[in-house]
Amino acid sequence: MPELPEVEVVKKSLDKKIKKLVINDVIILNKNLRYKIETKKFLKLKKTKIISIKRRSKYLLVNLSNKLTILVHLGMTGKFFIIDQNKKKYKTSFYYSLSENDDKHDHLVIHFNKHIKLIYNDVRKFGFIKLLNSKELLNSSHLKYLGPEPLSKNFNLIYFINYVKKLKTSIKDLLMNQKFVSGLGNIYCNEILFKSKINPRKTVNKLKRLDLINLIKNTKIILKNSISLGGSSIKDFSNADGKNGNFQQKFNVYGREKNNCLTKGCSGVIKKIYVSNRSTFFCSYCQK
């Protein structure tokens, strides 16, 4: 499932490839995504220009010259591909390879000027694409209740201290809570807790000030690192085998059940438990 870094990488790719282009046509091949694509509404896309591409949490926001915004969530398997004027196909993220692309799961194709095409492909169809005006965007339940971006200055120690004061939830659940901080998913929460040497089940009101400092610091480091690993493949994201910049291979705790702990000097073995029904990996020796 794409988490914040992947969505950020897709955003950067789209920014590089489709910004300032004008939409000539939109072909909806299958409108049955998580929410039905409003076919009629999408006619409004014709002749509009792509002004900017932003990310909020795991959502992409494509802002158009007619003041409308295309809101996209990639769900579990949503992917964008770009076909350039020479009919060369590009992926927009380092997480998947071009060879994985199966045309029968292409759901929407946007034709731009300069003979460039953007394809939305989604095998499991949990993603969605909505067209919203600025008021709808502001009131969108997808965005309205999101907490601060983890890489922003608003995600800081004072915010964290005030938020956890009276809370008795586990730290893993808190990090997963999009109202507290937006965009973190199961993989990154596991990694952040491992790097911060904190037990995922620990209740947040028992965390020390230093724990909170470490959590904030490590959240930012891990996300930035992952984005920059993907960033290196953006330079040539036509690479078909997708082997460069694959953060998935660099997990320190996620998916490493029964393997030795990677913390220096620790003789622990990674355990798998469930916290709120989500698989949680940790080392009981060094994560206290």
Catalytic positions are 2-3, 58, 278
Interacting stretch for Zn ion, rule CB under 5 A, among 140-148, 179-187, 216-224, 256-264?
A: 256-264
Would you say 58 or 195 has its CB closer to Zn ion?
Answer: 195
Q: Is 283 in the site for Zn ion (CB under 5 A)?
A: yes
Would you say 108 or 270 has its CB closer to Zn ion?
Answer: 270
Six-digit token string for 71: 């809101």
> Comparing C-alpha atoms, which of 39, 35, 30 is closest to residue 105?
30
Tell the smallest beta-carbon distance from residue 281 to Zn ion (Å): 11
Would you say 33 or 286 has its CB closer to Zn ion?
Answer: 286
Question: How many whole angstroms separate alpha carbon 262 and alpha carbon 264?
Answer: 6
Question: How many whole angstroms separate alpha carbon 159 and alpha carbon 215?
Answer: 13
Contact 18, 82 (CB under 8 A): yes
Interacting stretch for Zn ion, rule CB under 5 A, among 67-75, 94-102, 172-180, 253-261?
A: 253-261
Contact 105, 123 (CB under 8 A): yes
Q: Is 193 in the site for Zn ion (CB under 5 A)?
A: no
Among 23, 174, 216, 261, binds Zn ion (CB under 5 A): 261
Q: Which residue has the tokens 């489709």?
A: 18
Task: Return the HEC string of 106-136.
Answer: EEEEEEEHHHCEEEEEECCCCCEEEEECHHH
Six-digit token string for 3: 């988490």
In eight-state DSSP terms, residue 250 is G
Q: Is 263 in the site for Zn ion (CB under 5 A)?
A: yes
Site string for Zn ion, 208-247 (x = CB under 5 A): ----------------------------------------
Tell the smallest beta-carbon distance from residue 282 to Zn ion (Å): 8
Q: Is 116 in the site for Zn ion (CB under 5 A)?
A: no
Name, in order, each residue with C-beta under 8 angstroms of 245's C-beta and a sequence gap of 6 or more: 94, 229, 230, 231, 232, 233
Binders of Zn ion among residues 66 to 95 (CB under 5 A) are none
Would you say 231 or 268 has its CB closer to Zn ion?
Answer: 268
Question: How many whole angstroms separate alpha carbon 229 and alpha carbon 5?
Answer: 9
Would you say 9 or 286 has its CB closer to Zn ion?
Answer: 286
Name, in order, each residue with C-beta under 8 angstroms of 125's C-beta and a sequence gap of 6 or more: 30, 32, 33, 34, 75, 107
Q: Is 207 in the site for Zn ion (CB under 5 A)?
A: no
Interacting stretch for Zn ion, rule CB under 5 A, among 6-14, 64-72, 240-248, 276-284?
A: 276-284
Contact 57, 3 (CB under 8 A): no
Would you say 92 or 287 has its CB closer to Zn ion?
Answer: 287
Tell the smallest beta-carbon distance from residue 173 to Zn ion (Å): 22
Site string for Zn ion, 145-164 (x = CB under 5 A): --------------------
* 3 state SS of 89: strand
Q: Is 266 in the site for Zn ion (CB under 5 A)?
A: yes
Among 268, 273, 278, 279, binds Zn ion (CB under 5 A): 268
Q: Which uninterrupted H or E stretch holds 60?
A: strand 59-64
Binding site for Zn ion (CB under 5 A): 261, 263, 266, 268, 283, 285-286
